[in-house]
Amino acid sequence: MKFGIIKERKSPPDKRAVFSPKMLKAFKEMYPQAEIKVESSDIRIFKDEEYEALGFEISNDMTDCDVLIGVKEVPVNALIPEKKYFFFSHTIKKQSHNQKLLQAVIDNDIELYDHETIVDANNKRLIGFGRYAGNVGAYNGFRGFGIKYDLFSLPKAETLQDKDALVARLKRITLPPLKIVLTGKGKVGMGAKEILDAIKIKEVSADDFLTKSYDVPVYVQIDVLEYNKRKDGKKLDNKDFYNNPKDYSSDFERFTKVSDIFIAGHFCGNDAPVILSQDMLKSKDNKIKVVADISCDVDGPLACTVRSSTIAEPFYGYYPSENKEVDMQHPAAIVVMAVDNLPCELPRDATEGFGEMFLKHVIPAFYNGDKDGILNRAKITEKGHLAKRFSYLEGYVEQKETVPQV
């Protein structure tokens, strides 16, 4: 079987890859029977020469590969028929802008595997860039605070080498006694926590965070049942929340009354309640000054996320009383950071970490008969049709239904 690491063609350019030279070498050492070639790229964070130095063939022709592995969507005109492809297709939620991509995949007899659909038997995602989104999102939260209040100046994350460099820069600044609330305990939330812990910000319990004053910066990391409550007052478990989100409403307002920075690292499922409403933000009791929305669900659980922002222009202001975007320096503006491709700012670390996960969870399936069902569960299309697990996309592919603008 021949594997090809393809170049990223989506605009704006993405410097990440699925495998770094080091992890690709580990792949070859683990499975010496595998043939591997790398498509030439002038934007990848790792240069062609770095792969070549480890013995990998660099080429502009990938037509002889069986499996083609990339990060972002492959443009329709670059698809090679009758191949296996791995990339983030952004189609499984019926995203309107990629409808034609999924149609083309089917028309070209392509077997599509989406990184997002690589899950274990319990449907838990096995690979992703969430940790690195959390790293950069937390850094950007502090950067936005420094700009808004003219307290300190931090360089853009994308100008720094890696996570250690982000931490080193943050350690140079002097923070006032901020209170930081962090939602989520998945990969994104834990990635943000890594940064907070690395710069020695004190972690406190929710009760202490809500009731005590501190003369140093502190943070609290809260899970779904700390920022949501059942409408009937019953106290059950996380599983009940995930199974019955409509039975819950937000319990986050108590945190808005004492927090300066909100780092949003939660996952928001269908029918989950709004977490941070316009009413909470325009309340005279609201203390939140910066929202680093790593999850970045536009028109989703955070009222202030009115649009996604970009790496070039990561911040905008939100004016709660009129529910609209304003300049972030507006006196009544809350600073919002809602970049939807944060891991691109740490391409070196993100590539290393992603390759490690891909090698651990996906590559073995090609050599062990897919004994754990990894490939079978992840496969969206095969032989010109949708796989059974993704048959719900049929109307979307055939344009027989209205698709959401995501």
- Token code pair at residue 108: 């070209």
Give the end of a domain, one of 317, 340, 363. Answer: 340
Q: Which of 72, 115, 163, 179 is catalytic?
A: 72
Q: Which of 90, 93, 282, 289 is catalytic?
A: 90
Determine if residue 370 is labeled as part of a ligand binding site. Answer: no
375 and 260: one domain? no
CA distance 210 to 204: 10
- Identify the CATH number of the domain in which residue 378 sits: 3.40.50.720
Q: Same structural domain for residues 333 and 360? A: no
Residue 108 located in a structural domain: yes
Structure tokens at 16: 């990440």
Mean pLDDT by 10 residues, the chain (406 residues): 96 92 98 98 97 98 98 96 96 88 96 96 92 97 98 96 97 97 95 98 98 98 94 92 92 98 87 92 97 89 94 96 96 96 94 97 97 97 95 85 48
pLDDT at 296: 85
Q: Is residue 144 one of the residues assigned to a domain? A: yes
Asked if residue 83 and residue 66 are part of one domain, the reply reads: yes
User: Does residue 404 lie in a domain region?
Assistant: no
Long-range contacts of 309-312 (CB under 8 A, 24+ apart): 309/336, 309/337, 309/338, 309/339, 310/12, 310/339, 311/12, 311/156, 311/158, 311/339, 311/341, 311/344, 311/345
135 and 167 in a single domain? The answer is: yes
pLDDT, position 207: 97
pLDDT of residue 400: 55
Residues 266, 220 share a domain: yes
Identify whether residues 215 and 238 lie together within a single domain: yes
Domain count, the chain: 2
pLDDT at 406: 42
Same domain membership, residue 214 and residue 114: no
Residue 372 and residue 279 share a domain? no
CB 340 within 8 Å of CB 295: no
- Is residue 285 situated within a structural domain? yes
Query: Within a domain: residue 362?
Result: yes
pLDDT of residue 94: 87
In a domain, 406, yes or no: no
- Verify that 186 and 332 share a domain, yes or no: yes
- Do 285 and 325 fall into the same domain? yes
Question: Where are any strands of DSSP class E within 111-231?
Answer: 111-113, 179-183, 202-203, 218-222, 228-230
Q: What global pTM score does this model have?
A: 0.88
Are 320 and 300 spatial neighbours (Cβ–Cβ below 8 Å)? no
361 part of the active site: no
Query: Which residues, in sequence order, are bridge partners of residue 183?
Result: 222, 264
User: Is 282 tagged catalytic?
Assistant: no
Q: Which of 290, 322, 340 is the last residue of a domain?
A: 340
∠ CA(188), CA(90), CA(401), 5° rounding? Answer: 130
Are residues 240 and 335 located together in one domain of the fold? yes
Q: Are 217 and 223 in contact (CB under 8 A)?
A: no
Is 50 part of any domain? yes
Residue whose C-alpha is closest to residue 78's, from 92, 91, 90, 68: 68
Find the domain containing 364 and state its range.
2-126+347-398
Is 49 inside a domain boundary? yes
In a shared domain, residues 159 and 287: yes
- The domain boundary, picked from 316, 340, 364, lies at 340
Residue carrying structure tokens 């720094």: 160
pLDDT for 401 = 52
